[in-house]
Copies of this chain bind each other. A is one copy, B any other.
Amino acid sequence: MRKRIVIGQAGGPTPVINATLAALADGLISNHDVSYVLNGYEGLAKGAIITGGEAIHTKIADHRSIPGACLGSGRYPSTEQSLSDALRNLRSWQMDTLIMIGGDGTMSALSRLERMANKEGYPLQVIGVPKTVDNDLGGTDHAPGFGSAANYVAQSVLDSSRDLMSMNNFEQVRILETMGRNSGWLAAASGLFCQHEEEGPHVIAIPEIPFDKVAFLKKVDYALTKYGHALAVVSEGVRLPETGSQSNSVNGREVLGGISESLKQEVHDTFGVNVRAEILGMNQRSLSLAVSSRDAEEAGWAGTHATKLVEEGISGVMVSFERDQSPVYRVKMKEVTLEKVLTIGERKLSKEFIDHPERYYEWLRPLVGEVMPVYPAPVRKEDNYVSPKA
């Protein structure tokens, strides 16, 4: 059956979100009437779509490996009013199917839209395709976007550690702040490539563990004393007991960030050393240099699997990755009900991975593309040190 389908992107972009979109277009344009909605749920509510036609499909295919959500994404509040406007527009466009690429907010809005449509007797098929750099989406082993972001974080932290190490007569402590919202997946990924104890990260703070200032400073102190420098990684979602999280509200949405700056002051006051706080920033979700080839490939698979769901008439689901238990990395493409995704809620780093970083790294390695930079042991004073004769 030829369907009228509209596809959109929502939430913070990833460097591979357009790979998912391109795969959807590839799979659907020959048998269906495909349109694209601009700026995610805002475009649905306000009625801004681009209808099919060779030119737009080609343009979307050209964006396959370009970061950012090429249709426009954004954060638009999913109020009853905006969803009801969206539904009215979908009906007026006579859409059979709505496919949204997004994270947990997107899945929640999709689920509500489906329920509202059902109530009106409008047989709207809704399909969610996952994307998130934070990896906090339930119902899937992982989501496209995370592997590239983790690769960026791991490589940045390794390279930054070599930089810090060589400057430790000038700067002794560096605190790097990662994305991740209320989950520690990205911050915990920071140690993936480090192989020598000087490199660090010498301490990682994640939202899953209540922040313990004394323990944090103790680890900094240990590294400072032993190596002359300490590299700390802290997730944006970490809350300081006294002040709560570091966040601002923008358009009613909590935007995290700034914990590293508070800790900088703390470390400086405690040890009297030179401390730099740095936010790893938007490059985590956009730098094309850090794209994991596997992540990009899987982002395409997610789109392709969604096209199968369209044909099968399945609705109210999110595409999901199920990892085989085999020693070789292998995933099966599945789907999971939106209800289940929402019931699971924000997915945290598991206790097993927190307690056993090596198990987490083993789980993570295939997602960043299995490229493991091999850095030699640092040059050390002990490498034949000559004390002054003078």
Contact = CB atoms under 8 A, between A and B. Distances in A.
Given A283-B156, A286-B159, A378 B74 contact: no
B282 A279 contact: no
Contacts of A47: 386-390
A83 interface: no
A324 B290 CA distance: 34
A379 B66 CA distance: 12
A: interface residue count bin: 35 or more
B282 A281 contact: no
Contacts of A163: 13, 67-68, 282, 285-286
Interface in A267-312: 274, 276, 278-283, 285-290
A116 interface: no
A261 to B, nearest CB: 11
Contacts of A74: 166-170
Given A156-B283, A386-B50, A389-B47, A170 B72 contact: no
Interface of A: 9, 12-13, 15, 35-36, 38-39, 42, 46-51, 53, 55-56, 59-60, 62-63, 66-76, 85, 88-89, 91-93, 152, 155-156, 159-171, 174, 250-251, 253, 274, 276, 278-283, 285-290, 373, 375-379, 381, 383-390
7 contacts: A47-B390, A50-B381, A68-B159, A156-B283, A156-B287, A170-B253, A278-B279
Contacts of A164: 68, 282
Contacts of A281: 278-281
Contacts of A288: 155, 159, 373
